[in-house]
Amino acid sequence: MTDLSDATLDELREALAPRIAANAGFDGWTDAARDMAADELGVDRDVARLAFPGGAVDMIDAWFAQVDRATIEALPLDQLQAMKIRERIQVLVEARLTAMYDDRESLRRALAILALHPARAARLGWRTADLIWRRAGDTAVDYNHYTKRAILLAVYGATVTVFLDDRSDDFADTRAFLARRIEGVMRFEKFKAGMADRAEHRPSLARFVGRLRYPVR
């Protein structure tokens, strides 16, 4: 067991979060789940309470952060770089779901709590979407930065809904659902790009009038 006697609060949160999540499936995101995790790690219960001043939402936040780290560690950059962007997104989402596979009931309860805290839920969801896109190699800084993350957040949210009740082997149904959603997004992006290209080359009355007024020399 890791000695946490001199650990900072940040280190305590990181150590306690997965243990709390393991207990939350039965006890909810409660003080009891936190205290059990503290006892398992030999941490004073009062100190553990200080690590999560916001209660359940702080515990969930810390768990999601731990899941994000597990997602990154599961897929080295050299492995991702050999894939197409759509494949990178899919395997990163799948890796995140895999990290929560044994704690799906805890996830269900976490989402129910976050539904009562929409602003915090939005921040946590955006953090995950941003992490996945950055890990996939996205460097956009214009409006695409925001649209990509908003679209992924919608896809991820729908996929989690399927994931929570998936009883197929290795959550195959969830993987298939995610693949279809990503395929739909890619088709839409290609359509949008085609429309933009056609609009660029379509005859324009404004450009025609402009050339009459300011002929090219």
Question: What residue type is 21 in one-letter code?
Answer: A
Please give the average per-residue pLDDT across 66-74, as a whole number.
Answer: 95
Residue 132: how many other CB atoms lie within 10 Å: 25
**Residue 92 is encoded by which pair of tokens?**
């990163």
**Residue 108 is encoded by which pair of tokens?**
């269900």
Question: What residue type is 1 in one-letter code?
Answer: M
Phi/psi for 216 (5° steps) reads -70, 135
Q: Are 160 and 111 in contact (CB under 8 A)?
A: yes
**Residue 52 is encoded by which pair of tokens?**
């999560």
Model pLDDT for residues 85-140, shown as the tens digit of each residue: 999 999 999 999 999 999 999 999 999 999 999 999 999 999 999 999 999 999 88
Q: Is 3 helix (H, G, I), strand (E, B) or coil?
A: coil
Indicate the pLDDT class of residue 215, thresholds 50, 70 and 90.
Answer: low
User: Is pLDDT at 144 greater than 90 in this prediction?
Assistant: no
pLDDT value at residue 191: 44
Whole-number average pLDDT of the chain:
88
Nearest to 135, CA basis, from 182, 186, 45, 68: 68
Distance CA 18, CA 67 (A): 9
Phi/psi for 42 (5° steps) reads 70, 30
pLDDT value at residue 143: 86
Q: Considering just the CA atoms, what is the radius of gyration of the chain in Å?
A: 23
Nearest to 185, CA basis, from 105, 129, 127, 113: 129
